[in-house]
Structure 1
């Protein structure tokens, strides 16, 4: 079943890239449920800004959605963050392509151009065949980026937080 993936990062115990993968038929439902979690005046959800009660509510909502999470973690020991990001993208993109992801949305930051340079060689044939596209987006414009943020936060935090999202994690790559 065709799906879209939404990617965000967390830097805790290494570099963690999280992709929330949502079937195309479920995109509007998932976006709506996440938007409902925003409080008046809140433009987006961001786990670092929420209290524990809200974090539990957000994670509970995520596990009730039709989504799966793909995770890649790279060590940063003695390496720049960018090296970890590149390594994670190189592991994540092929895994997503294997599982019928046709669109990848990555949270926009000051690394967009370098992301494009890393993704293009892996995705070129799929793009040429019209089977894959990727874009960078601001989290205030794409609620499903919040799902990637929340799962990256929970996994990075560990303990009970990680347990709360365990059932939606489909793929994990721990890179050297």
Structure 2
């Protein structure tokens, strides 16, 4: 899962089957610029962006976007993280991996604990260089916000989009 806040708050979530995790991580690592520890779409050139999207399409990665309209009582990130947790339960996900940001990690953990307490879904924060799958979510988030041809390129990956403010626990994409 990754986020973008450029125009409105968007969480991009990628779903990877456990049997495909190693292959997709390896493919994405192979798309790094020599000497870099990760792929960051904001800093990538268009050739690298296209290669990452092509790899995601080739591997059949599916994704979901979670957006949130501003709400006076619930911050956008909280609403989206809670909606993500509910979707993870519904989809019987094994784990949620979030990109580490120490300034918000404590809040994330509280919201996830509250939502996932009675489930078997695990969650953890990792630095972006620790898990190449975070780059897939970064790609979806960047393309979604950037719009135009980039959004069009990732649309085949998006199987579900929800508005966290309107969604209490509606089912997500098929498991």
* Shared fold per TM-score greater than 0.5: yes
Note if 1:162 corresponds to 2:137: no
RMSD in angstroms over aligned alpha carbons? 1.7
- Name the structure 2 match of 1:124: 117
Any unmatched runs of 5+ in structure 2?
A: 166-175
Structure whose residues are more often strand by fraction? 1
**Deviation, structure 1 residue 116:** 0.8
SS at match of 1:101: coil
| Structure 1 residue 59, shift from structure 2 partner | 1.2
Rounded to whole Å, the distance in 1 between the matches of 2:118 and 2:54 is: 38
Runs of 4+ in 1 over 3 A off after TM superposition: none
Of 81, 87, 90, which residue of structure 2 is paired with 1:98?
90
Per the alignment, residue 44 of structure 2 pairs with 50
1:135 match: 124
Residues of 2 paired with 1:174 and 1:63: CA distance? 24
SS of 2:34's equivalent in the other structure is: coil
Q: Does the 8 Å contact 1:15/1:84 carry over to 2?
A: yes
Question: Any unmatched runs of 5+ in structure 1?
Answer: 1-6
Matched-pair contact (CA < 8 Å) for 1:71–1:92: no
Match of 2:137 among 141, 148, 163: 148
Q: Report the counterpart of residue 169 of structure 2 in structure 1.
A: none
Give TM-score, length-normalised by structure 1: 0.87
* TM-score with structure 2 setting the length: 0.88
* Alignment equivalent of 1:63, drawn from 28, 51, 57: 57
Cα distance in 2 between the residues matched to 1:59 and 1:84: 27
